[in-house]
Amino acid sequence: MKKIILFLLTLTAVYATKITDVANIVGVRDNQLIGYSLVVGLKKTGDGTTSKFTLQSISNMLKAMNIDMNPADIKSKNVAAVVVTANLGAFSRQGDKFDVTVSSIGDAKSLEGGTLLMTPLKGVDGKIYALAQGALSIGGRNERGAGESHPTTGLVFKGGFVEREINIDLYHQEYATLSLKESNFKNSIAIQKAVNAFYSTQVAVAMDPRTIKLKKPENKSMVEFLAEIQDMNMDYQPKNKIIINERTGTIVAGIGIEVKPIVLTHGDITIKIKEQNTPDRPAGAMVIDSSLVIGLNENELYTQTGTTTVANVVRSLQKLGATPKDIISILEAMKSAGSISADLEII
């Protein structure tokens, strides 16, 4: 049976980071757009006759061009019905171009080589904010950068054109609001302290663990003020979190996440963690690095001093030959038993 005894010193990490990396300006954001249209010019890889909405859409398009055609008489396989989606950036102006994503909603086999017809793109309020049109690019890789492509999804690079602007009047505003990307009382207060220290007066007030209210100084415009705010450094304390991808076996964890004392058995692996400043170590044990030691029988692992961390547990299990599935199961059991207090996120 494999036994693991682990001890490692843990420190609370605080990092200097720019405010723009951890907080957004409320009201300054992208807006999502959506539209429905047709892709034409396909090489017999479009929707079949079972996609009735495609045939009706072709008929409607031809009727708008003074060609009256019964949908039942249309047999073309070179056309596909698609949904077009895009993000309209903050402060976009008329004539600006942006990329649009085109996805088949019928039974088309491929959109490769197709051309997107003029598509009105609407916001959640139903108003048209942009138009999209152009040749599709399918690409040769999927969203993970490897393997097969997705022939029923493509991009029209710079195929969207802004028609209606979303007005955000920052210049005449006296107040602005920052919203932390993750709620945290300490980080909210850290931003308040950093901003007030920079201006030597109270222009920032933390309203809650996510919201910081800002008042523009008299001698600055709101644009100058927010530019300075975003570029400021603050003492950032990240939230402890363990992220596990069960499909790929990937585990991401902060190096300082503490593991409380526990005894756990999983298959032929037994983990025993206890508080001990000077653990005994067998003579002749092999030192792997400054904190990790493997005993003579290669079934016992020790650390030098202090408190055990998740990073050390994972590294030790890997040294003993545990599979990713075993490591994930062990971490989940530790979380359920209360040995790990950090959030465990399964993706």
Beta bridge mates, 82: 37, 104
Kindly state whether residues 152 and 37 are assigned to the same domain. Answer: yes
This prediction has a pTM of 0.67
One domain for residues 250 and 309: yes
Q: Report the pLDDT value the prediction gives residue 239, as an integer from 0 to 100.
A: 75
Domain stop point among 121, 141, 162: 162
Which of 23, 169, 181 minimizes the C-alpha distance to 91? Answer: 169
Which of these, 241, 337, 196, lies nearest to 13 by C-alpha position? 241
Domain that holds residue 45: 31-162
Is-contact 2 221, C-beta < 8 A?
A: no
298 shares a domain with 259: yes
- 235: which 2 tokens? 């003492």
pLDDT computed for residue 111 by the predictor: 93
In this structure, the answer to whether residues 255 and 221 fall within a common structural domain is: no
Q: Any idea of the CA torsion for 114, 118, 119, 120, to the nearest 10 degrees?
A: 170
Between strands 286-287 and 15-18, the pairing is unpaired
Judge if 144 and 180 occupy the same domain.
Answer: no
Structure tokens at 193: 């302290």
248 and 152 co-located in one domain? no
| Residues 263 and 250 placed together within one structural domain of the fold | yes
pLDDT for 141 equals: 44
Tokens 């100084």 locate to 217
What distance in Å separates the CA atoms of residue 136 and residue 153, rounded to the nearest whole number? 9
| Residue 309 maps to a domain | yes
CATH of the domain at 193: 3.30.1360
Residue 328 forms part of a structural domain: yes
pLDDT by residue for the chain (347 residues), tens only, comes to 444 443 333 334 556 889 999 999 998 889 999 999 999 999 999 888 788 888 888 888 888 888 888 888 788 888 999 999 999 998 999 999 999 999 999 889 999 999 999 999 999 999 999 999 999 998 754 444 444 557 899 999 999 999 999 888 888 899 999 999 988 899 999 999 999 999 999 999 999 999 999 999 988 899 999 999 999 999 887 777 788 887 777 777 766 777 777 777 787 777 777 665 555 555 555 554 444 444 445 445 555 445 677 877 787 777 777 888 888 888 888 888 888 877 787 77
Same domain, 104 and 145: yes
Q: Are residues 53 and 155 in the same domain?
A: yes
The rounded distance, in Å, linking the Cα atoms of 95 and 322 is 57
Same domain, residue pair 91 and 42: yes
**What is the chain's length?**
347
Overall domain count for the chain: 3
Whether 37 and 158 map to the same domain: the answer is yes
Dump the DSSP string for 95-163. T-EEEEEEEE-SS-S--TT-EEEEEEEE-TTS-EEEEEEEE-B--SS-TTSSS---TTEEEEEEEEEE-
Q: Check whether residue 104 and residue 65 sit in a common domain.
A: yes
